[in-house]
Chains A and B, each alone.
Chain A
């Protein structure tokens, strides 16, 4: 018998995408603004988030989900800010997906939050494929990792809403070529907004928080 073709036309990540859409609806109706932080390992996500939580916590209701292959070191560090922090240990899985977010948030009163941060697993490849229902996907690029990272990992930079250049206090020491980095970011994602920060010295942190509050206000208006 001859083989026949049966049309399917289904996204391979349909289950993830449907759950992410559902999460996004829940976040919106609860009035919580959700930020997904992605970067390579060592770009400074945890330090950046630690400083963000520390500065936001006195004024806003904030929480974080932290993805890691192993250890809860990051969650313990972030917990010092006083914010609610939950560790997602992924084992061998190299990214977070919508199901992990959904499971982690079981029993949470989302309406009691203004901001929820999701620190993804340090990886510039796999997290690009998974929508977590976030409002803002932020990619971090540290001055120590090379200006051409956006060209090497265009997919994740192209899918980001905002880019942060971190560890800017080290720029001079490592000979960071700022113009080259900015050109590469714009090449793979024309028009992307870029902020420069240092969690250690605090440079750029207030500008980031101000931008975050603006974006959350815009999202709340629908």
Chain B
């Protein structure tokens, strides 16, 4: 199981970006996870909370978008989505299709952040009533 290593890399990348952004709290990480990435969703979710503890990312959600494998079929000359990863054949014409165009993703696509007020006390005074 290498999901803990992956989770640590993911948190490093997110923490680096958050630092660039300045005074923000990271609410969520959005990740694209391809069926051929070699990473198991459940194991990654489990590792993520462990890896995030004590970092600026602690408490953030990990939102995973699973990406099925798509191949380019040379016979149909189009992209086709495969129902699984056990058979790389075009689901339309049954031609063997080794050209994977999607499904290897392991990508941090975006962060969901909340801006923290630089001087929270003054802001409170400025907007006393709700």
Contact status A155-B114, CB under 8 Å: no
Contact status B107-A11, CB under 8 Å: yes
A60: interface (CB < 8 Å):
no
- Cα–Cα, bound, A16→B37 (Å): 14
Contact status A8-B106, CB under 8 Å: no
**A7 touching B109 in the complex, CB below 8 Å, given contacts A14-B13, A188-B87:** yes
- Cα–Cα, bound, A36→B87 (Å): 24
- Cα–Cα, bound, A36→B4 (Å): 23
Q: In the complex, which residue of chain A has the Cβ closest to the Cβ of B29?
A: A8
A195: interface (CB < 8 Å):
no
A4: interface (CB < 8 Å):
yes
In this complex, how many residues of chain B approach chain A with their Cβ under 8 Å: the count is 38
| Majority-rule SS of A interface residues | mixed
User: Of A27-35, A47-55, A125-133, A173-181, which stretch is located at the interface?
Assistant: A125-133
**Beta-carbon contacts under 8 Å, B13-71 to A:** 13-14, 17, 21, 27-28, 30-31, 36-39
Which of the four size classes fits the interface of chain A? 35 or more
**Beta-carbon contacts under 8 Å, B92-123 to A:** 96-98, 100, 106-115, 117
Q: In the complex, which residue of chain B has the Cβ closest to the Cβ of A126?
A: B2
- How many inter-chain contacts with C-beta < 8 Å in the A-B complex? 109
Q: Which of B6, B38, B108 has the most CB of A within 10 A?
A: B38
**A187 touching B87 in the complex, CB below 8 Å, given contacts A10-B107, A12-B108, A15-B9:** yes
Q: In the complex, which residue of chain B has the Cβ closest to the Cβ of A153?
A: B38
- Cα–Cα, bound, A196→B16 (Å): 47
Contact status B13-A8, CB under 8 Å: yes
- Residues from chain A with Cβ under 8 Å of B28 in the complex: 3
A45: interface (CB < 8 Å):
no
- Cα–Cα, bound, A154→B110 (Å): 29
Q: Which of A3, A12, A13, A14 has the most CB of B within 10 A?
A: A12
**A187 touching B86 in the complex, CB below 8 Å, given contacts A7-B109, A126-B2:** yes
